[in-house]
Amino acid sequence: MNLNEFRNEPHIDWTNPDNRKRMLEALEKRKITCQKTYPIIVDGRGYITSEILSSYDPADKNRLVGVTFQPDKLLITCAEKSAEHAGQSWRKLPWEKRAEYLLKTAQIVREKKFEMAALLVYEISKTWDEALGEIEEAIDFLELYARAALKYGKDTTRQPYVQAECNLTRFRPRGTTAAISTWNFPFSLSVEKIAASLAAGCPVLFKPAEQAPIVGWHTTKYFLDAGISPELLAYLPGGKEVGNILITLPSVTQISFTGSEKVGRLIEKSALETSGKLGIKNSDLEMGGSNSLIICPSADLDEAMAGVIRSRFSFNGQKCSALQRLILVGSRDDQWIKNFISRISLGSLKIGHPENPENNLLTAVIDGAAHQRITERIQRISQKGIDTIEKADIPKGGWFARPVVFYNLPWEFYGHPDIQEEVFGPVLFILNASSLDRALEIANSTRYGLTAGIYTGSTGDIDYFLEKIQAGNVYINRPIVGAMVDRQPFGGIKCSGKGKKVGTKEHLKFYLNEMTISQNLLSRGLKTS
C-alpha cells in the first residue's frame, strides 16, 4: 500500500457561493432533526436506559439538540468483553488493512462535513469557520494515522552492520483503549483518539463529553459506516460515573483523556492503583493551560493586536491553547495602555448565535455551569478595584458571557489564583514587565506549560525567549492558537499534559508495546517449520 506524503486538508473557501449554500442547507436540516433520540451503541446495536441525557443549544437554551442515554455498568461490561474479543482479530489484521479503514472514514467525513459542521454550530456553539476547521483537523488525524500504521507495521532493523546477529524492533498493540474526550473539540479530538487506537490495533470504549453527546454519536457512526467490526468501538455517553467505570475495567490497558487538570490527576491516580490484566495502565493526559503572550516594544502593534484577538477571543477563549495573560514589556503610562486596549476594540467584537455567519468570533459559552464560573471570576476580580474594559451589550436567550479585559493589575496580584488558574472564557489579563527577563519570569510562574508566544522585531529577543520559556508549543509573531496536525505537534509540559504530542505519527506509540528482538544467525540446528 503506497500513500502520498501527508498534506493538511485545505481550508474551506467561504467566498464560494456553493459552500455557503450547502452550509445554510445543513443548518436548516439540523433544525428539523433536533429532538431526535440517539441510543447507546454496543456491538453495533442501539440500547436505551432510564438515564436520559439531554443536549441543548448553548446559544438558545430552549432548543433541544438531541437526547441520548447513559449506560449502566452491565452494559459497559458487555462492551468491554466484546471489545476484548474483537481486538484479538483486529490486532492480527494487516496494518495496511487498518489504514484502509481510516482512509474510508476520512472520506465519509469529507462527504458529511457540512452535516457535522451544522451539529457543531448547534451543540457547542461553534462559528462556521471554527466548525469546518475542526472537521478538517479530524480528516488530518485520519490521514496521518493511516500513514503512521504503515510506518509502525514494519520491523525496524537496528545496527545491520553487526555480523552474525539480527536485531529488530517490532510494535504490537497494547489492548483496549478507554477514550474520554472533551467538549471544546468534540469531533476532532474524539476522532484523534479513536483513529490512533484503531490504527495501532486496539479496540475503543469511547465516552464523549457530557456537553457534546450527539457529536459523539455521529463520530462513532462514521467509523462504523467505514466497515470496522462493530464490536471494536462502543459509544458510551455519560458523566463521571461512566468515566470512573471505564478507567477501572480490567481489560483497559491505556486511557486517553482530554480535559481538566483535576480530572486528569484522578485518572492518573486510578490508572496506577487499578492494574489491568496486562499490568499498569498507560495514561495520555492533555490538560489545561494559563497561557502567556509577550509583546515587546519592537513589535508590530497591528500584527500583535490581530494575534491577541484571535488568541484570546476565538471560540470565546474556550481552548486550552488560548491566551490568558498578555504581558507588555517596557515602561507604559496609563494613556498608552488605554490606547492599546482600545485597539482590541471590545465594543466592535460581534457576539451572537453562530448560525449567523456574521457572528464569526464570539458566541455562547458551553453551558450554565461555565457561564456561572466565568461570571463569578469576573466579579471577584472586579471587587478588588482593578481597571476593566468590557463589552456592554450581549444577547439574551443563551449562555453569552461578557468579554472583559483587566489591566493595571498590582504586581502582587500576578500570582493570585484568579489570574493563574485557567478561565476558559473571554477574559484577558494585561500584565506589565520592565524587561523581557521579567516578562519570562511572569510567563513561567504558572504550574502550566501548554502554549506561549512573543511578538517582537528583535532576533535577540526571540533567541532569549526560546531559551527561557516553559511551554510545549511556542509561537513567534503569530497567534498562539491554531496548531495544525503534523505541522505543529500539540502537547504541553508541567501540569498541562503527560504523554506523546498529538498530531504526529509517533503518537501511535502510546497504544503500542515495543519489542526488541535479537537473533543469533549462526545458531546450529535451526529448522524451518
pLDDT of residue 160: 86
pLDDT digits (tens, 9 = 90+) for 436-475: 999 999 999 999 999 999 999 999 999 999 999 999 999 9
CA distances from residue 233 to 177, 210, 229, 242 in whole angstroms, order as listed: 10, 18, 8, 16
Res 341 pLDDT > 80: no
- How many angstroms separate the CA atoms of 274 and 267, rounded? 10
pLDDT digits (tens, 9 = 90+) for 74-84: 999 999 999 99
Amino acid at 467: E
Strands 52-57 and 165-173: unpaired
Residue 359 or 227, more confident: 227
pLDDT of residue 478: 99
- How many angstroms separate the CA atoms of 314 and 320, rounded? 12
Please say whether the beta carbons of 248 and 205 come within 8 A. Answer: no
- How many angstroms separate the CA atoms of 463 and 501, rounded? 23
Q: How confident is the model at residue 333 (pLDDT cuts 50, 70, 90)?
A: low
Can you name the CATH fold of 291-476? Aldehyde Dehydrogenase; Chain A, domain 2 (3.40.309)
- How many angstroms separate the CA atoms of 352 and 354, rounded? 6
Dihedral angle of Cα 60, 212, 351, 115, to the nearest 10 degrees: -90
pLDDT digits (tens, 9 = 90+) for 82-97: 999 999 999 999 999 9
The secondary structure of 386-439, three-state, reads: CEEEECCCCCCCCCCCCCEEEECCCHHHCCCHHHHCCCCCCEEEEEEECCHHHH
Q: Is 202 an annotated catalytic residue?
A: no
User: CB count, 10 Å around CB of 29?
Assistant: 12
Q: Average pLDDT for residues 498-526, to the nearest whole number?
A: 92
CA nearest neighbour of 98 among 89, 110, 108, 107: 89
Res 335 pLDDT > 80: no
pLDDT of residue 10: 98
**Residue range 17-287+496-515 in CATH 3.20.20.70:** no
Q: How confident is the model at residue 247 (pLDDT cuts 50, 70, 90)?
A: very high
Residue 390 or 264, more confident: 264
Helix locations, 112-233, DSSP H: 113-124, 128-152, 188-200, 213-225
Which residues, 6+ apart, have CB-to-CB distance to 506 below 8 Å?
Answer: 148, 500
Res 346 pLDDT > 80: no
Which residues, 6+ apart, have CB-to-CB distance to 509 below 8 Å?
Answer: 152, 171, 500
Which residues, 6+ apart, have CB-to-CB distance to 168 below 8 Å?
Answer: 155, 156, 157, 158, 516, 517, 518, 519
Residue 209 or 33, more confident: 209
pLDDT digits (tens, 9 = 90+) for 420-438: 999 999 999 999 999 999 9
pLDDT digits (tens, 9 = 90+) for 264-301: 999 999 888 887 777 899 999 999 999 999 999 999 98
Res 35 pLDDT > 90: no
How many Cα atoms are found within 13 Å in the side-chain-facing hemisphere of 135?
28
- How many angstroms separate the CA atoms of 449 and 491, rounded? 9
Joined together, the cell numbers standing for residue 262 give 483535576
Mean pLDDT of the chain: 95
pLDDT of residue 271: 87
Joined together, the cell numbers standing for residue 111 give 462527504
Amino acid at 363: T
- How many angstroms separate the CA atoms of 190 and 167, rounded? 37
372-381 contacts: CB < 8 A, separation 24 or more? 373/424, 373/425, 374/401, 374/423, 374/424, 374/425, 374/426, 374/427, 375/401, 375/402, 377/418, 377/423, 377/425, 377/427, 378/402, 378/404, 378/427, 380/418, 381/406, 381/418, 381/419
Q: How confident is the model at residue 529 (pLDDT cuts 50, 70, 90)?
A: low
CA nearest neighbour of 49 among 60, 35, 57, 37: 37
Which residues, 6+ apart, have CB-to-CB distance to 69 below 8 Å?
Answer: 39, 40, 47, 48, 49, 51, 52, 53, 237
Please say whether the beta carbons of 122 and 57 come within 8 A. Answer: yes
Q: Average pLDDT for residues 159-163, to the nearest whole number?
A: 87
Strands 204-207 and 233-235: parallel
- How many angstroms separate the CA atoms of 374 and 318, rounded? 11
**Which element (helix H / strand E) includes 462?**
helix 459-468
Res 396 pLDDT > 70: yes
The full set of domain ranges for the chain reads 17-287+496-515, 291-476
Q: How confident is the model at residue 34 (pLDDT cuts 50, 70, 90)?
A: confident
Q: Average pLDDT for residues 242-247, to the nearest whole number?
A: 97
Residue 496 or 358, more confident: 496
Instruction: Considering the candidates 130, 286, 355, 422, report the single residue annotated as catalytic.
Output: 286
User: Is-above-0.95 flag for pTM?
Assistant: yes
Q: How confident is the model at residue 389 (pLDDT cuts 50, 70, 90)?
A: confident
Please say whether the beta carbons of 403 and 351 come within 8 A. Answer: yes
pLDDT of residue 85: 97
Q: Is 296 an annotated catalytic residue?
A: no
Instruction: Considering the candidates 134, 210, 261, 320, report the single residue annotated as catalytic.
Output: 320
